Amino acid sequence: MKKAVAILTAILLLSIGCLEKRERNPPYLKVVISGSTGNNGWYISNVTVLLNATDNESEIKELKYRINGGTWFDYVMPIKLQKDGIYLLECYAKDGNGNERYSNMTIKIDKTAPSISFLNFEPGYIYFRGKKYITPRIPRDTMVIGKYTVEVEASDALSGLEKVEFYLGDSLEAEKENAPFEFDLHGIGIYNVTAVAYDYAGNYNSVSIPEVQLIIFS
């Protein structure tokens, strides 16, 4: 009889121990981020964040989040991030036994294309041996006679400027990663002269002067 009681007591204590161990398990917390991904970990669109918490042993008592160290909010609907910036998103779930699961992530959004403009190149002028003249023709053609270096100003305020490309027509002629962004025009013919700026998020912007007549001998 004493042996049977001892066995039952041991089984009961073992069951209680297992139960206590299970009750210390934190809830499961899933974070789903949706948006258009660019380059280098950036999003180039609005971002929506979904949180979902589950627990096999008890109900979820709390599911909260905060952004950039601000106030903690109850999660009741998808989180929408619509402005350019770098966000630290923190979230946690707590079950009915007081167990918590914490998660954090950095979300980077850059929807804005870099700025770019020609510094010394305008349509409707003749550039003769490095000097700029008003063309007498109507409509005012753009013409370059003799060697001429095109200068571009480009910048990006958030993810940073990655590079500037220069094109004659559809042909990529030069690529510059650092200022000064300059390109020596060359060749004979009529081309669209285009410069394209790219940021590290994958956004780009361009400036172009169409149908430029080039008469440049090597």
* 43 contacts 76 by C-beta, under 8 angstroms: no
DSSP tally for the chain: helices H, then strands E: 1, 18
pLDDT of residue 2: 53
- Dist CA 22 CA 33 (whole Å): 30
Chain position carrying tokens 């804005």: 112
* 166 contacts 194 by C-beta, under 8 angstroms: yes
* 135 Cβ contact partners less than 8 Å away, ≥ 6 residues apart: 124, 125, 126, 141, 142, 143
Whether the full predicted model's pTM is greater than 0.85, yes or no, is no
The two structure tokens encoding residue 128: 């003769």
Give CATH for domain 115-216.
Answer: 2.60.40.10
| 10-residue mean pLDDT series, the chain (218 residues) | 50 48 80 98 98 92 97 98 98 94 97 98 95 82 96 98 98 97 97 98 98 92
CATH topology of domain 26-109: Immunoglobulin-like (2.60.40)
Instruction: List where CATH 2.60.40.10 sits in the chain.
Output: 26-109, 115-216
